[in-house]
Structure 1
Amino acid sequence: MSRSIFEDVTETQKPAAVPGGVSGGRGRGRALVRAWLMVLFALVVVMIAVGGLTRLTDSGLSITEWAPVTGALPPLSAEDWQAEFDAYRAIPEYQLQNRGMSLDEFKVIYWWEWGHRQLGRIIGLVWALGFVGFLATRRMPVGWTGRLLLLGALGGLQGAIGWWMVSSGLEAGMLDVASYRLAVHLGLAFVILALIAWYVMALGREEAALMQARRNGDRRLKGMATGLLHLTFLQVVIGALVAGIDAGRNYVDWPLMAGGFTPPDMWALDPVWRNLFENDGTVQFFHRIVGYLLVLFGIGTWFAARRSALVSTRRAFDWLAVILFGQMVLGIVTVMHSAPWHLAILHQFGAVVLVVLVLRARFLSIYPLPQSIRG
């Protein structure tokens, strides 16, 4: 049927644009998922601290098997305790270092390692309950299923790497776990922590707001913050090597090492590459050098951020510079006091704070907060 060109066609009119259309349907459960991630973040921070104390108390080899399910129960009888103790007495650490240890002394180190493993199980349970719960109740934000599933996969991998690390200390002639395996274990813990922190920051604002903010991002600051993040991560890994061979308890003078710029016998082990993992002087030397580079690059990044017109971005880099300098001073003090456990743990916690602040500065470089003309 013919229609006049002047006739109104109302049935094909498009609906008016709705404010917030970009985020429409995507905000459900966003705040709940963010709160759940904050709980996971806190648990991982505690896990890193307990892991550090487990290492400092030489407790990591007290449990000589990996039983992800049945290992959740500690020994419940005198016979169970004796069996665990007998298993520990069969490994080199007891025979070469702790021979004559009593059962009561063994229980102390056992509880540290059991608590470390139990905390890992709790983290896995909290992740699983939250992930399944958000899917079942359809509160999972659109586009976040894969990212949150990745956290669970990395957590499972971390458990396997933990046993890979512990098993190295059960081999003939070993008194501790292999330092490079400890570095992989701690490095992955920081990767998981960094991902959770980034997700928390991203979920703190609507997707439409993030898209709008990205237009005002500073690509130069983003690149410098990314470089600083990589260098910080490298320093964390080298710090794990220091902890793995107790390298922080030797060469307590500063800025020199045993009176020289480099430690004596820096390349004494053969083959040469072993010095990078097993020579306490070499490992501590590179931890110092990377620390200096990190501070210098951090200062350069801070100066670059001072030119930003955005107050919140400048403040983020201000706090980053403060903690970076404090972490350097704390590291020097820790070494000069031969790394007592309380300073060593505080230094490790400082690394957690530093990584989070680097991530926050990078995030605000990409997604700056809105600001009035007056700032």
Structure 2
Amino acid sequence: MPAASGFARVLREAAPSLAKRFFDCSSRRHSSILSQAQHVSSRTKRRAVETRHLTTSPKIPIRRTQVSITCFRNSQANARQDTISRFGRAFSVSTRSRISQANTRDGPIDAAKESGSEGTGKSKSRKSTLPDTSSNTVAYWLLGSAASVFGIVVFGGLTRLTESGLSITEWKPVTGSLPPMSEEDWEAEFAKYRSSPEFHLLNSRMTLEEFKSIYWMEWIHRLWGRFIGISFVLPAVYFVARKQVSRSMAWRLFGIAGLIGFQGFIGWWMVKSGLKDDLFAPGSHPRVSQYRLTAHLGTAFICYLAMLWSGLDILRTNKLLRSSKDVAEASLNALRNPALKPFKRSVALLAGLVFLTAMSGGLVAGLDAGLIYNEFPYMGLGLTPPKSELWDSFYSRAPDRSDLWWRNMLENPSLVQLDHRILATTTFTAVMALWTYARSGALQKVLPAAAKRGVHGVVGFVWLQVILGISTLLYLVPTGLASAHQAGSLALLTWTVVLGSRVWFPGQAARILAQRMQQNVGGAAFGQAGGSTVLSQAGGVHAANANGATVLAASVMPAVTALGLMLSMNAEESLRVQLRARREEKPGKPAPERTEEA
């Protein structure tokens, strides 16, 4: 009994330490509570074992001692498991209740946030599904398409110079893609051509072999046009479907595709003007209308410029957006310089002047005006033909002669050639004036290096074009020189547009760059605010966990203390039972003094 009372005293002394350790868990995690409970239980177990060894006599059989130790261990293990299970249930219940309360409190807010984010994502997806910029692959494809249009313009000039455009008298967009495959097919096509005004008035002695040569020229020209349409429409659909173009570029591609189809219609409309029955009248010249020819040429030029400018715009935009922030801002600030405004306007006016000069060349080709006054700079006895020849009433159709001036400007070969000479000379003078202005001291400092090279390119092409034009006139419009002169006009216009792309301000690229910079700045500010919010929320969670641990320990400790006392009483009772059993086995022998002293 004294030993049992000593063991109870040891447990009572351990109870305050156990309570102190549990109350200190307010600054620790919940898992430390379980480890502390297990540690205290192991200490209690060791003290109980030491007490048992002190109260156990050496004369007791080993078997019964092992049984008593096993019983004590089982009782201690059961008590420890009971303590841990009760504490775990209490902790799990409190944790589940706290989590459920937090979900109940924060659930609607999180749901609103999720629904708001989903709604924002859906609205953004509905707003735009195409990127802000187009890929460089689209730019290279556009430049390749522009090169193909450049080639067909030159080949179309050759078709006009060889008078092959009226060899095919029908327009079959699909079935006309195949040439005659047999001799009977060739005879049928030649029979159709023999019924045209051009054969009766100009080529009445043409043979089948000669007809085949002009037929192949026109057939290749039409097939090339079909190829341009297919090679543009199909890749355009692919790039839009793959989302490799911006929204504005997608609309631009749609417009170019429509322009290509319209160009095919204008081509047949032009050919049809040379097959009219009124051209069979004596004195008529079977050729296409100069108005329709110029419209066909102008549409081809516009289509070419649209492809060229779109490709250059994509490359310039991507280059600007991929550069560093400082380089991009420096480039934009250089193009914003007010000193460049007169130069930019001059380049735009020069591009319009080159285009107008090329269209006047289309009128010259349609009227065969290059076959008269084959000299330069004079036209007959002076710099200009006589006034009566320039404003001839023969070309007027109105009774009051109100259309005299504009019909002579568009239908009189002498005045049409003079107009072309004046426009060409004006273009040459404007280019040289622009070159002189670019070399001035005020503009030399602010003009970009690429623009300076562009000015030199324009000067070189305008000199080449002047030489080709004068040579074509002096040598009575040979096919090679005339075709080179037409190609030179488009090359000069190309280089003028390239010069403009180097000095004109990229408004779309600047807007995209500004939007991205605002998004980056806003994202950084939002990230900082969001980070502080997250940190504050995390701190609140940790504080709530610490407070919850304190409350949990304060609520659990009385039960744990009572449980410890119950365990000590159970252990004391088990020791009493063991001692009573031992005394019943040997009632004549008193307990050893060592045990009593202990």
Q: How does the TM-score come out when normalised to structure 1?
A: 0.87
Residue 366 of structure 1 corresponds to: 504
Indicate yes or no: 2:334 matched with 1:216. Answer: yes
Indicate yes or no: 2:206 matched with 1:116. Answer: no
**Conservation of the 8 A alpha-carbon contact between 2:465 and 2:485:** yes
Residue 59 of structure 1 corresponds to: 164
Offset at residue 101 of structure 1 (A): 1.0
**Conservation of the 8 A alpha-carbon contact between 1:245 and 1:280:** yes
Indicate yes or no: 2:377 matched with 1:266. Answer: no
**Conservation of the 8 A alpha-carbon contact between 2:458 and 2:492:** yes
Residue 145 of structure 1 corresponds to: 250
Stretch of structure 1 that moved more, 297-306 or 166-175: 297-306
Stretch of structure 1 that moved more, 153-162 or 269-278: 269-278
Secondary structure at the residue paired with 2:395? coil
Residue 90 of structure 1 corresponds to: 195
Indicate yes or no: 2:433 matched with 1:300. Answer: yes
Offset at residue 137 of structure 1 (A): 2.2
Decide whether aligned partners of structure 1 residues 96 and 130 sit closer, same or farther in structure 2, where only a CA change above 3 A counts.
same
Offset at residue 361 of structure 1 (A): 1.2
**Conservation of the 8 A alpha-carbon contact between 2:131 and 2:244:** no
Identity %: 39
**Conservation of the 8 A alpha-carbon contact between 1:313 and 1:364:** yes
Residue 355 of structure 2 corresponds to: 233
**Conservation of the 8 A alpha-carbon contact between 2:468 and 2:485:** yes
**Conservation of the 8 A alpha-carbon contact between 1:317 and 1:361:** yes
Where does structure 1 lack aligned partners over 5 or more consecutive residues? 2-10, 12-23, 369-375
1:248-267 pair list within 5 angstroms = 248-264=370-386, 265-267=389-391
Aligned partner letter, 2:145: L
2:298 to 187, 190, 198: 187
Residue 3 of structure 2 corresponds to: none
Secondary structure at the residue paired with 2:493? helix
Secondary structure at the residue paired with 2:468? helix
1:350 to 488, 507, 527: 488
Runs of 4 or more, structure 1, over 6 Å off, are none
Partner Cα distance (2:226, 2:264) in 1: 9
Offset at residue 360 of structure 1 (A): 1.1
- Larger RCO: Structure 1 or Structure 2 (Cα < 8 Å, ≥ 6 residues apart)? 2
Residue 477 of structure 2 corresponds to: 339
Partner Cα distance (1:206, 1:293) in 2: 34
Indicate yes or no: 2:170 matched with 1:170. Answer: no
Partner Cα distance (2:411, 2:248) in 1: 44
Partner Cα distance (1:25, 1:111) in 2: 44
Residue 202 of structure 1 corresponds to: 313
Indicate yes or no: 2:401 matched with 1:281. Answer: no
Stretch of structure 1 that moved more, 275-284 or 53-62: 275-284
1:99 to 195, 198, 204: 204
**Conservation of the 8 A alpha-carbon contact between 1:41 and 1:193:** yes
Residue 58 of structure 2 corresponds to: none
Indicate yes or no: 2:326 matched with 1:326. Answer: no
Cα deviation digits, residues 300-344 of structure 1 (max 9, x gap): 222222224322211111211121122112211110111101101
Partner Cα distance (2:135, 2:290) in 1: 40
Secondary structure at the residue paired with 1:205? helix
Cα deviation digits, residues 195-242 of structure 1 (max 9, x gap): 111112111133582785444222221111111111111101000111
Aligned partner letter, 1:167: K
Partner Cα distance (2:419, 2:248) in 1: 41
**Conservation of the 8 A alpha-carbon contact between 1:33 and 1:140:** yes
Partner Cα distance (2:314, 2:176) in 1: 36
Partner Cα distance (2:348, 2:413) in 1: 30
The higher radius of gyration belongs to 2
Residue 232 of structure 2 corresponds to: 127
Cα deviation digits, residues 31-74 of structure 1 (max 9, x gap): 11012112201110110011000000000011111111111111
Aligned partner letter, 2:395: D
Stretch of structure 1 that moved more, 83-92 or 110-119: 83-92
Stretch of structure 1 that moved more, 175-184 or 79-88: 79-88
Aligned partner letter, 2:407: R
Q: How many residues align?
A: 346
Partner Cα distance (1:275, 1:69) in 2: 40
Partner Cα distance (1:38, 1:270) in 2: 43
When you count helix as a share of all residues, which structure comes out higher? 2
**Conservation of the 8 A alpha-carbon contact between 1:219 and 1:365:** no
Where does structure 2 lack aligned partners over 5 or more consecutive residues? 1-101, 103-112, 114-129, 280-284, 322-327, 397-403, 507-598
**Conservation of the 8 A alpha-carbon contact between 2:131 and 2:243:** no
Partner Cα distance (1:135, 1:149) in 2: 10
